[in-house]
Amino acid sequence: MNSGSLVVIVGPMYSGKTSELISFIEIYTLGKKKIKVFKPKIDYRYNNTQIVSHSKSAVDAIAITKPKEILTYLQGNENAVFIDEVQFLDETLREVVLQMIESGIDVYCAGLDLSFKANPFIVTALLMAHADNIIKKKAVCHECGEYRGTLTYKFVGNGDEIDIGGFDKYIAVCRDCYLKLKQKNE
């Protein structure tokens, strides 16, 4: 048996990470492959049994709290496993993902590479280190309109780096606009 491969999809908010994950899910589904889809329970934004993109496409998913729970849902015949919002899972996700790849499962992970403070989410960085392929997505910058959005800016509330939200709190911006906004508001 061959080992599986790891694809990691990263970028700022609204850059199409979940949409890209859903496209890969469609490819495996069309090929009648066995798949499982997971998301962290903390992300209650739309509902707890689906992953949902900002453009409202949705796929059923199993909500988990700890990475190890993923293994308890596997039946041993899966071709691929998909995990959205990996930044909300702890770093033991690395071992769980490696175990799946070594047992022949293709693993697709999507998540934020950087917090709104531009600090790396360590779990995403660890997965990127093991990835066979990293897909780095961009968003349209909310300020200048260029397709260069690599960062997320938070315009309300507290400094929490774990804070569920959408257009009510966060915009995607390019590096220049991120620096301008920070200078203006600090």
User: Which of the following is catalytic: 78, 85, 146, 186?
Assistant: 85
DSSP bridge partners of 139: 149
- Out of 6, 9, 16, 17, which residue is the one contacting ligand TMP (CB under 6 A)? 17
164 annotated ligand-binding residue: yes
- Out of 6, 8, 16, 170, which residue is the one contacting ligand ADP (CB under 6 A)? 16
Instruction: Please give the residues from 82 up to 141 whose contact with ligand ADP meets the rule CB under 6 A.
Output: 139-140
- Give the binding range for ligand TMP (CB under 6 A) out of 23-31, 65-73, 164-172, 173-181: 164-172
Is 69 tagged catalytic? no
Annotated binding site, which residues?
162-165, 170
Instruction: Please give the positions annotated as active site.
Output: 85
Q: Give the residues lining the site for ligand ADP (CB under 6 A).
A: 11, 13-19, 53-55, 139-140, 142, 149, 172
Q: Which residues are annotated as a binding site for substrate?
A: 162-165, 170
